[in-house]
């Protein structure tokens, strides 16, 4: 963890907020530097086990707790009602790091004030096992120190990348934000294909799950590209080559995935307004 000590207010401690909080504690954050607002009992209980202060309402944030960074981890549909109460923190200089999907920086500037320092991040669900990847964009008021702090917070659950053009977040959402669902669907389809080929259901599911997880881990650990790893397992004239003739046909996986990502990108732009 960075030697720069700073205070963090986490607004929302559901699955992603909880993963972040766990990562911060594991990275050595002082629980006294963390405070959580979470009205749901389950999320609040999960936060309390780390020894941090938890309030079920922003009015109950411990007196004197002045955050340097406010992390917004609530559902996007909740932000209209949730955000305005935190505007005083922005006016006192706190930066805001949002992981609320579909909410652009301009949206937060409207609710928190034109002088607010805003960072918009798109993480993904493998953050729950500290294997996520997050892409961040920031407005012009975010300085280098604040960028470093945001990266410290998000690196607790995986890799971090930056983009200067916030507009790229829509494509990021389509590729990495939604991407885990595509991989899970691949596992579903592979199991179903195994059943259709005559495998018992339980065995087909175990084979598909282990294969997708193992291939992902190999890709993670290997220095070779995905293309090269594919070639490594493909013997000329063999069974893999026969399957890839179908998957790599003109109407195969590549154009299908391209259309899927384009559709998700369009939807992300629609949600952002």
pTM: 0.91
Q: What is the pLDDT of residues 165-212, one digit of tens each?
A: 999 999 999 999 999 999 999 999 999 999 999 999 999 999 999 999
Parallel, antiparallel or unpaired: strands 69-72 and 95-98: parallel
DSSP code for 191: H
Position 3 scores a pLDDT of: 57
Q: Answer yes or no: are the C-beta atoms of 79 and 249 closer than 8 Å.
A: no
Position 1 scores a pLDDT of: 45
Q: Is the pLDDT of residue 4 over 80?
A: no
CATH 3.90.1150.10 given to domain 8-173: no
Domain segments of the chain as ranges: 8-173, 179-272
CATH 1.10.3730.10 given to domain 179-272: yes
Q: Is the pLDDT of residue 256 over 70?
A: yes
DSSP code for 114: T
Q: Is the pLDDT of residue 271 over 90?
A: no
In degrees rounded to 5, what are phi and psi of residue 70? -110, 120
Angle between helical axes of 144-155 and 15-26 (0-180°, round to 10): 100
CA trace torsion 157, 35, 49, 72 (10° rounding):
-40
Q: Answer yes or no: are the C-beta atoms of 63 and 35 closer than 8 Å.
A: no
Q: Is the pLDDT of residue 273 over 90?
A: no
In degrees rounded to 5, what are phi and psi of residue 199? -75, 145
Q: What is the pLDDT of residues 79-130, one digit of tens each?
A: 988 899 999 999 999 999 999 988 999 999 999 999 999 999 999 999 999 9
Residues 6 or more apart whose Cβ sits within 8 Å of residue 52: 21, 31, 34, 35, 36
């Amino acid at each position: 963890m960075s030697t720069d000590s700073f205070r963090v207010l986490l607004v929302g401690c559901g699955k992603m907020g909880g993963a972040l909080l766990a990562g911060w504690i594991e990275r050595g954050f002082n629980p006294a530097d963390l405070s959580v607002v979470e009205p749901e009992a389950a999320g609040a209980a999960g936060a309390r086990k780390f020894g941090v202060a938890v309030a079920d309402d922003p009015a109950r944030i411990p007196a004197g707790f002045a955050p340097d960074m406010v992390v917004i981890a609530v559902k996007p549909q909740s932000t209209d009602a949730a955000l305005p109460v935190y505007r005083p923190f922005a006016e006192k200089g706190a930066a805001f790091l949002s992981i609320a999907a579909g909410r652009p920086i301009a949206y937060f500037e409207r609710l928190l004030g034109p002088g607010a320092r805003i960072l918009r991040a798109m993480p993904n669900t493998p953050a729950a096992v500290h294997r996520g990847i997050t892409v961040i964009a920031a407005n012009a008021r975010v300085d280098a120190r604040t960028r470093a702090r945001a990266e410290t917070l998000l690196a607790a659950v995986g890799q971090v990348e930056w983009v200067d053009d916030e507009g790229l977040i829509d494509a990021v959402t389509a590729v990495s934000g939604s991407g885990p669902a595509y991989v899970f669907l691949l596992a579903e389809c592979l199991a179903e294909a195994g059943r259709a080929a005559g495998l018992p259901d339980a065995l087909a599911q175990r084979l598909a799950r282990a294969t997708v997880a193992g291939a992902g881990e190999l890709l993670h650990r290997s220095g070779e590209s995905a293309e090269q790893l594919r070639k490594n397992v493909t013997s000329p004239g063999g069974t893999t080559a026969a399957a890839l003739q179908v998957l790599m046909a003109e109407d195969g996986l590549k154009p299908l995935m391209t259309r899927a990502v384009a559709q998700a990108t369009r939807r992300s732009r629609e949600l952002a307004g």
